[in-house]
Structure 1
């Protein structure tokens, strides 16, 4: 028996790339799968491949960006399989642009698919899982740490991480686990980005991330919720959640002068590197540059 034997799972954006791997591997692990993608031909092909290998799959061509269509994705599972045990919120779009070159229409599409799509489909799935429990796996991204020319995309993926933490709190009492995965794999999205291709060796194929998603969907992951987990096919690690960094300075009231002194005398030394490249803030770079010059 596979690790998902007897379970019903929806995978959004399953027509290619990561979603296709998640759907195929879930079916191979025993799940009945709804293969969802707005690209009808791609979704049909993936579902047909699953059935040819003896798996159980039906197709949904609905968009996650519309709440009624997102609900219809979940309804597809309920009608075909009688229940819903898992959802992989994978559907997403992507573009790169400097902030001053962003197209507002492209930004809106990012938000509607990458964030609202996760919300719409996740809420519909949660309603279907009330009384039976289940697992939601949201697909976030390491871009949420900060990457050049990916501000809008990163914002949606960071929001998915925050949503995951909050939903995990809300749904725990109902037996619904909510986790997020930050994958790095060679997909069409990555191939289109020269920078991403440099970061992603050709052996990092989507099927190498799929076992993590299968595990989180399965009963073996009982008790694991509210986690952001990063996997690039070789490395697997938990991503730390935001926290308040020490020291915490305290006064009865703050004014501009006292805040300036606090940064000049204390807080500048505690500024955080930012982005995936861990860039030091300019003020810190100015402080450490004289020491680097002496060493060199």
Structure 2
């Protein structure tokens, strides 16, 4: 039996790039897939490709940044396949600009697609999964969450994805719903202007797809709240935001006390480390 036999999954932004690779791999492992893309023609094309290969897939043309369309996407999966076993929040946009050249319209688009999109789809999916007794949500994050030059809006949006992953994992575990994130490196249309990603066999979207299928499958049962970094040849776990030792305590803190602590006991905990002479 294939890893995802009998499961129904929604994959957003799956008309091309990573999403297309995720949809094909999940279908090849037995999943029935709702192929979503804001470009309806691409959604129909990928769904047709999957069906031509003997899989089950239906298209959904719509924007996840619209709450109504996001809810309709989840409803379509239940209507077509009788359940919602998995959601992959993959849809995203990106652009690069120096901080002084950031464009308000494009920044808003990044936040609406990359943050509100997963939130809208995830909350709609959580209602269905809670009622049916379980499910899996996989969010697509990015190493940019730790800060990438000329990409403040994108970095902020992926930091939000990491936070919603941790929050949902805490809330939904009791309902049998697992929530994890992947932070892939892949050569896609979005990555063409990223100097950190080059077109190599290791950066093929097809290399990333098995990780998402693993998270959708029962092989990852019990795993939740994690962010997995993957490059096709490298797999690791990204550290979560947390308090670092030492934790200093005083009854009252003056400005001078704070300066002494930062330059002294807390200095080794600073990331990135400050230069030798920084005051």
TM-score class normalised by the smaller sequence? over 0.9
Partner of 1:271: 270
CA distance, structure 2, for counterparts of residue 172 and residue 77 of structure 1:
22
The CA deviation string for residues 166-193 of structure 1, in whole angstroms up to 9 with x for no partner, is: 1001000100000000011111111233
2:137, 2:87 → 1: CA distance?
5
Number of aligned residue pairs: 277
Tell me the residue number matched to 1:286.
277
Residue in structure 2 matched with residue 291 of structure 1 by the alignment:
none
| Structure 2 length-normalised TM | 0.96
Q: Which runs of 4+ in 1 moved over 4 A?
A: none
- Contact kept, 8 Å, 1:62 with 1:72, in 2: the verdict is no
What is the Cα deviation at residue 220 of structure 1?
Answer: 1.4
TM-superposed CA distance for 1:205, in Å, is 0.5
Aligned to 1:19: 19
User: What are the equivalent positions in structure 2 for 1:37-116 lying under 5 Å apart?
Assistant: 37-116=37-116
* CA displacement 1:83-102 (0-9 Å, x = unmatched): 10000000000001111110
- Contact preservation (8 Å) 1:133, 1:175: yes
Deviation of residue 202 (structure 1)?
A: 4.2
Q: Who wins on radius of gyration, i.e. which is larger?
A: 1
- Any idea what SS the aligned residue of 2:277 has? helix
Segments of structure 2 that go 5 or more residues without pairing to the other structure are none
TM superposition shift of 1:62:
1.5
Change in Cα spacing, 1:105 to 1:217, as seen in structure 2 (3 Å) is same
Partner of 1:221: 220
Aligned-residue RMSD, C-alpha: 1.3
2:122 partner SS: helix
Task: Provide the secondary structure at the position in 2 that maps to 1:243.
Answer: coil
SS in 1 for 2:236: strand
Partner Cα distance (1:259, 1:151) in 2:
28
